[in-house]
Amino acid sequence: MNRTAFQSMGTQFLFGASLFTSILFIPNYATHILGASDFQVGLIVFAYAASGFVSSYFFGRMADVRGRSMVLRIGFGLSCLASLVQILPFDPWTLLASRAFVGISAGMVPPALLAFAYDAHIPMGRFASVGSLGWGAGALLAGAVTSLPVTEAGGVRIAFALSAALFAAGFLVILRTTFPRHVALAVPLFSAAVMRRNLPVFLSILIRHTGASMIWVIFPVFLEDDIHLSKGLIGILYLVNTATQFLVMPLMDRMNAEKLVAWGLVLSSLTFMGFTLADGFWQILPTQLLLGFSWSGVYVGSLKQVMEDNVERATAAGLLGSSMNLSQGLGPLAGGLVAHWLGRREVMYVAAGLALLALVAYLVSSGKTAPRRGTV
């Protein structure tokens, strides 16, 4: 591995770790410390996702037009500041504002980083797996610091500070990274061609991830309040999921992208149904293994398609990220309402149905959309 590839992989790890250290216990922090309702938690996550939706596409396109290095430096620098700002909120609404700031800053990074890695000839499964390893490390760190003998609020605020330190480390790596000479692309502000060419991927990700996001907004609270797990055990569960992704994603680089997405959607539905059957640590543990396999298939397959079928790779990656962010906005709102009116396990039934709907949408739209490789 050459120096540039090593630096891009290290930056991917630091980004995943810093983001997950900050995000893991936001629902618990909002609920237990700031007194937010399930619906307010949904609004807080929606604010993060909505800002990330705009940022991902806008700065993905900018990375194609102006270059990867500028976008990555701004993204990591602002993300460091935004993570520190999360220490300040005193009620659900100020937390909502701080999470929107994180969404804007962190949304800048993935499209440019993915395009940079592809330009450096790093296989997408291998690159994505390093991000998953970072998520796992972030979950473990967040679980550890929130288990320290301090108040619950103090533990979460330490996690925010640690997240900022990891973003700062990523910023320093980016400053020392040598980027190839950028060839500017003439990408319109809204590229209908990119959208049309990648519609099956964007549509399936949007539907599947909306269901998943319905779960994630209440999942840490569900694990703590309904299954009675400590924050340390919750961190271990997230680590099992991300460690599974780290191990299996590189194996998927040689597999067919379309089949990866389809099977990932099937396994996603089975995983979400499995959550409803768990009543303790040892019952929920196998679902994290299955979750790792299912998301690996969907994500690696999607990445392979958007990177291979487009010249404007950062723009396409930005639209993929925007699809995920949109789902991360819609899902929490819907999940908060379903949890409030029906219950937390019912959220998981709905998510399982949406994963199957995503499979149907992917198969149908794939049959009607012919990718046009390398056109704008």
Cα 198 to chain center, whole Å?
19
Split at pLDDT 50, 70, 90, the class of 184 is low
Fold classified for 3-177+190-368: Growth Hormone; Chain: A; (1.20.1250)
Quick: pLDDT tens for 126-162.
888 888 888 878 877 887 887 777 777 778 888 899 9
Quick: pLDDT tens for 213-246.
899 878 888 888 888 888 778 878 878 888 898 8
Average pLDDT over residues 196-214: 90
How high is the pLDDT of residue 49? 85
How high is the pLDDT of residue 194? 73
Query: Is residue 131 a contact partner of residue 15, using CB atoms and an 8 Å limit?
Result: yes
- Say if residue 195's pLDDT is above 70: yes
Token pair for 183: 């060839």
Split at pLDDT 50, 70, 90, the class of 182 is low
How high is the pLDDT of residue 176? 86
More confident residue, 16 or 373: 16
Residue with tokens 């519609």: 199
Question: Considering all CA atoms of the chain, what is the largest pairwise distance in Å, rounded to the nearest integer?
Answer: 57
Task: Please give the single-letter amino acid code of residue 62.
Answer: M
How high is the pLDDT of residue 78? 95
Percentage of the chain exceeding pLDDT 70: 94
Task: Please give the single-letter amino acid code of residue 346.
Answer: E
How high is the pLDDT of residue 55? 92
Task: Count other Cβ atoms within 10 Å, centred on residue 36.
Answer: 23
Average pLDDT over residues 259-285: 93
- What is the rounded end-to-end Cα distance, in angstroms, of the chain? 32
CA distance 130 to 111: 16
Query: Is residue 202 a contact partner of residue 60, using CB atoms and an 8 Å limit?
Result: no
How high is the pLDDT of residue 189? 65
SS3 255: coil
- Say if residue 81's pLDDT is above 90: yes
CA distance 174 to 116: 12
How many residues in total does the chain contain?
A: 376
How high is the pLDDT of residue 14? 93
Split at pLDDT 50, 70, 90, the class of 98 is very high
How high is the pLDDT of residue 185? 62
Ranking 201-210, 254-263, 313-322, 353-362 by mean pLDDT, the lowest is 313-322
Split at pLDDT 50, 70, 90, the class of 188 is low
For the chain, the domains span 3-177+190-368
- Say if residue 173's pLDDT is above 70: yes
